[in-house]
Structure 1
Amino acid sequence: MIKTALALSTLLLISGCAQNSNTAAPGSPHAGTSTEQSEPHHQITDQWVGRWIGVEGLFLDISKNEPAGPGHYLFEMQYGLDADQIGTFEGQATAEGIRFNREDGQHLLRAGDGEATGMKWLLEKEDCLVVKTGEGYCRD
């Protein structure tokens, strides 16, 4: 009887160790979630933090949105010449760049060069961020 109990105990221990260790409790992050997948993205976009200059006084200041976590940013930007084309917007890193919303819709900020901005005043620049053709910000 004791041998049978020992054998059963051993089997239970072995079967417990063989269970999938990746089983997550409800509500906990799962392997491969967007948090883990976006980690490399924010490592690239973290390099974009700082001031970027457009034409005719336009600018883009990117800072990390620390309370929101890695891969989240705040944009302070003057994106047009009209007085109401200024504001602060939240963005999130993606594989393509930083996605953000403002009054004129959803946008994707992506790396490019002066030519990608579509603006003749920035053609010679090599380190730029582009929102759309005709809207870009560069560093010297």
Structure 2
Amino acid sequence: MRSHVNRLMKTTHPFLAALLIAIVSLAGCSDRNASSQKTADTPAAASAPRTDEWLGKWTGPEGTFLELAGGHGKYDVTVQNLDGPRQFEGRYADGAIEFERDGTKEVIRGTNGAETGMKWLAEKKNCLTVRQGEGYCRD
């Protein structure tokens, strides 16, 4: 009987080992997929939005500028135009920053110089545009 058990162990043991390795491998893949799924389902609010990369000062022509402070979806927006600086409260919305100025909803979006509509900024690459004809750049 003992020889049967030894023979069975010799033939079964590699099979059991392979089965165990397959089960562990599948379980590992399953956990990895679950982890990826959790990351994909995590709300955007848990991490800073891309608009946080826009913090700081952006310059326009003739001494104008746009300055963004704050972060994580809430921004202090300062717009310096020829009449002087004005401050507004901004918030993240669909990859941009929205704020209200004189009863109008304004949207700050990432663009290049040509998209600002301003000939002084046309060759620039890294810009923010509030509206056609109102843009600010960093390069």
TM-score, normalization by structure 2: 0.64
| Equivalent in the alignment of 1:75 | 77
Cα distance, 1:94 vs structure 2: 1.1
Number of residue equivalences: 98
CA offset digits 1:9-56 (Å, max 9, x no partner) = xxxxxxxxxxxxxxxxxxxxxxxxxxx755389420000000100111
Superposed CA RMSD in Å reads 2.0
| Equivalent in the alignment of 2:54 | 48
Cα distance, 1:102 vs structure 2: 1.5
Unaligned runs of 5+ in 2: 1-41
| Equivalent in the alignment of 1:99 | 98
Unaligned runs of 5+ in 1: 1-35
- Identity among equivalent pairs (%): 42
| Equivalent in the alignment of 2:67 | 61
Contact 1:42–1:93 (CA<8 Å) still a contact in 2?
Answer: no
SS in 1 for 2:124: coil
Counterpart-to-counterpart distance in 2, 1:41 and 1:133 = 30
Cα distance, 1:74 vs structure 2: 0.2
Change (3 A) 1:82 1:99: same
Counterpart-to-counterpart distance in 2, 1:41 and 1:99 = 19
Counterpart-to-counterpart distance in 2, 1:41 and 1:114 = 29
Q: Which amino acid in structure 1 is aligned with residue 58 of structure 2?
A: W
SS in 1 for 2:63: coil
TM-score, normalization by structure 1: 0.63
Higher Rg of the two aligned structures: 2
Contact 2:100–2:106 (CA<8 Å) still a contact in 1?
Answer: yes
Cα distance, 1:96 vs structure 2: 3.5
